[in-house]
A and B are shown apart, each in its own frame.
Chain A
């Protein structure tokens, strides 16, 4: 699905050229769950941005579904963002002046989905994430975990093939983080390819494959034979319960 060959990314300042990524080669197959780890400033976000077509590499080749995507026009990139790639961020990046409902709906509007279909799709996701009661709240009124759920909902509403998550749990407590990771695992089980960046060893283990980045170079690339079932996975349900410290979650439909 993803082929990166000899990707360089550097920034030129007055006196020197600083490499952020150097000769990165990476192949990601459809259905993979990849965790990228590495110290701060090692180029993880940059790599993710390049994969997500948000940034262009300084050198190298990149093909997505056997098509080179380096010299794409703006219009074509937009098509990828609408139909193939979803993003989740550490800082959630929800649109503040929009309600939960509107945030999740936004990609569908840009995609041109008709009003009625949109309504059904958003309702489905709200239901799946147990957020029906919160649909008219604004992001600031939600906890971090809830905001990230909205972020995920927004990222996957367009049914992307590829989900890119840049430290999705970085701002969350462990319990909330685990909940998010469960959601990601479930999505992966449904067939979505996921690439996540994380600092957390435990969360990295959710991935089926872990690569380690240091100074822009891939140092390690480990593919796990079979992922250990996590304690959470055993009580897996079709619907994810919101795990909140303190307040027990009551679903109101």
Chain B
């Protein structure tokens, strides 16, 4: 084999064998295809780094409120007592742990330096289930001690020196001092539950107004993971789990009261948790990756076969030397291996060069992809591809009849070439159509009316700001001439909203779940340009704390459930808030994003500015935003200006002010990435197809030189000749393009199935895309055939 590779290497620099073109097409195809496939495999590698990862499961809560719903809501978050309960009551569970996410936040060390980290509360059993290497400290002790924490090696490095014993403070929770007692190795990126700093679970009360860590029902915000004993199947645990529920949750009584309600726990393998959530995207990415690989490989085979025709004699020579088919196939295999190796190196270089771009698109570091779960499958795929792509040319090469090879060997049939070429047309039209639709959909997303204003709207978080500074800040902001309006609000539409339930009048039943945006002041809605079309918007004169605005969808539901004609002025009872009066109705807007919309009705509660201040004074972690509406004309520099004002009121000058317009755009990052991936794939496929077409038409023109000349002599005009030859090509291009369109239609339908607004899949789009491909085919063919046809026909005939 080494010998064969050496020979293949010597062949590399020979002219007329399309070697460079073949390598380019392979490199492009491999770079793109492997990048996409590694991304797909990466999704399957989540949490695979844990030892015994196949025995680790994440506890899911499956919930159905009543019989009318046939689907259960399933969520990987449960109440605080579930994990310890499972460990105690369910045999077969070797270990169980729970984590409670506090979120990403800035924190300070005692020397006033600030850092950013992802915080989570965790119980002392964490490393029994989800172990990571420990650097210092005993987690069993630390995660049981109040206000003690462990930090990741990365954070420890950032802080520097010996971190043990150092005291930190989270920006959102001023005054809550936490002591670092241990260090663990930083988690890889491919994990479902990421944390940089672990705070002991017993400290929950310090960060939440109520400690739900041992609560059985409700407050289901705990990520619970269990490790099963070897050989135990998660299904077999169901009876014991039910017994636990009976014992602690009074599940039977609740079920009796609320006929049809179901609450169940299930165990999802931690390895599958992530990939299950992105299945559609995985299917689409895989399809596109294989489309690109397929096209580039077909092109490779096409070019290789053309080159082999020129080498027909060499096949015969080897045979007279005693080579059998097997030897010749090995010869071709070795050449394929070499070209693959070169292309692979090229592809890796290309990926390396494009790494910054790729990392932005993928949203994670490329290096994270280099794990065994990604690399091995790719390795075997490449081996398989090498064998497949060398098989056809090898078979062809070994079957050239010797006697004809020694004469001027001319391929008579060219059907197989057309078949290979048509595969490229399928791929080209498939990707082009997807690209066009994805781009159109993306544009419609970022320009779509979300039901609220984003232009000229900024928002700044007030975390870490003393209550007394709030009103001064508001006044300062209002004094800026470019600022039209300033308001306060607990949340933002792009962030989505927490959920609460509207109860029936008698308080017996839950009517429906709402997206709860909590509290806003009287300026919030006008800044976002959300109108109140029934009743009145909040105002200082006629609204009191806890007055309520509900969206149209919610109002309609209330009318149906309660038999009301009108909702304004009525009282409703919503969990967490109690009874309050509906002041008005506003149109529903997009909660979250169009691609991942939340279709629950939404509500706002009224807090005047003083109330925001008052609650902040009582509870320093009470979060809310300041919203700012600027003049449309004063765009440039506003962000900086507002940030500077904010900084004057923050002890550490670390204000985070953002433009709502930019944030909304950023929320479509993944669609943006997808579109860019399409663009890259499209460019590659088009280039490859053009290369393939040029090669094919040149060969055809050469092969049919005589025919062209005879037609020419017998008086056919150039356009007559072109028509015949181009029609020949289009004859196979049309069905191929149709096939590509069908594939594209299926793929984009799948991609868009959950979007709130979809562009219509107009037939015109498909029409234009297919015309483009067909025209491209015609133009390239016309170009190459014209060149040949315009040569002196007499000369062409003499050639023979």
Which residues of A pack against B, CB within 8 Å? 45-46, 49, 52, 54-55, 74-75, 78, 81-82, 87, 89, 93-98, 102, 106-107, 109-111, 154, 158
Contact = CB atoms under 8 A, between A and B. Distances in A.
A129 B401 CA distance: 32
B323 interface: yes
A81 B319 contact: yes
6 contacts: A52-B320, A54-B316, A96-B314, A97-B7, A98-B7, A154-B321
Nearest to A110: B322
Nearest to B398: A74
Interface in B302-327: 313-314, 316-325, 327
Nearest to A103: B321
A11 to B, nearest CB: 11
Contacts of B321: 81, 106-107, 110, 154
A81 B320 contact: yes
A18 to B, nearest CB: 14
Interface in B1-57: 3, 7, 10-11, 14
Which of A82, A97, A98 counts the most chain B CB atoms within 10 A?
A97
Contacts of A81: 319-322
B402 A49 contact: yes
Nearest to A164: B320
Given A93-B317, A97-B7, A111 B322 contact: yes
Interface in B321-366: 321-325, 327
A110 B323 contact: yes
A107 B10 contact: no
Contacts of A154: 321
B403 interface: yes
Which of A75, A87, A111 counts the most chain B CB atoms within 10 A?
A87
A226 to B, nearest CB: 33
A87 B406 CA distance: 12
A54 B320 contact: yes
A106 B321 CA distance: 7
B324 A78 contact: yes
Contacts of A109: 3
Which of B319, B320, B327 counts the most chain A CB atoms within 10 A?
B320
Contacts of B322: 78, 81-82, 107, 110-111, 158
A112 B306 CA distance: 31
A183 B88 CA distance: 95
Contact of B10 (A74, A75, A97): A97
A34 B3 CA distance: 38
Contacts of B327: 110
A122 B497 CA distance: 83
A54 B402 contact: yes
A75 B327 CA distance: 12
A4 B317 CA distance: 25
A98 B320 CA distance: 16
Nearest to A154: B321
A131 to B, nearest CB: 18
B10 A95 contact: no
B403 A54 contact: yes
Nearest to A81: B322
A158 B314 CA distance: 19
A96 B14 CA distance: 10
CB-CB nearest 6 A-B residue pairs: A82-B322, A55-B403, A110-B322, A97-B10, A54-B402, A78-B324
B377 to A, nearest CB: 35
A98 B319 CA distance: 16
Given A97-B14, A110-B324, 11 more contacts: A49-B402, A49-B406, A54-B320, A54-B403, A81-B319, A82-B322, A93-B406, A97-B7, A106-B321, A109-B3, A154-B321
Contacts of B7: 97-98, 102
